[in-house]
Amino acid sequence: EVQLVESGGGLVKPGESLRLSCAASGFTFSSYSMNWVRQAPGKGLEWVSSVSSTSTYIYYTQSVKGRFTISRDNAKNSLYLQMNSLRAEDTAVYYCARDFQTYDTSGLDYWGQGTLVTVSS
């Protein structure tokens, strides 16, 4: 059974840092691109970042570029999101999600339960 379990969320002050983790199991983690998607309270989904299976390709949404860093450790079946210089508008539930990617399409077929990040003074 595919499982994605996020951890590391919490309450931080503006300007502080936080590192999210996502532990994957039930599939060959090293074969899949992985993503972070967030959802602010009462708002819609926002794609945040992606990393390819071997970390060759990394992308960010513009609002987090230069502040967030996505990474993965295939030996530990883990995905990470280092978040620096946090702002109030980064407050959200952060989901880890797997990209099922085929030769001609891609999408997010498995999601974690999410971890809440609250940025407030």
Partner 1 sequence: IQMTQSPSSLSASVGDRVTITCRPSQSIRTYLNWYQQKPGKAPKLLIYAASSLQSGVPSRFSGTGSGTDFTLTISSLQPEDFATYYCQQSYSPRWTFGQGTKVEI
* Footprint on this chain of partner 1 (rule: CB under 8 A): 35, 37, 44-47, 50, 57, 59-62, 95, 97, 100, 104-109, 111-114
To partner 1, the closest distance from the beta carbon of 84 in angstroms equals 20
DSSP string computed for the chain:
--EEEEE--EEE-TT--EEEEEEEESS-GGGS-EEEEEE-TTS-EEEEEEE-TTS--EEE-GGGTTTEEEEEETTTTEEEEEE-S--GGG-EEEEEEEE---SS---EEEE---EEEEE--
Nearest distance in Å: CB 41, partner 1? 12
Q: How far is the CB of 106 from partner 1 (least distance, A)?
A: 5
User: Which CB, 27 or 59, lies closer to partner 1?
Assistant: 59
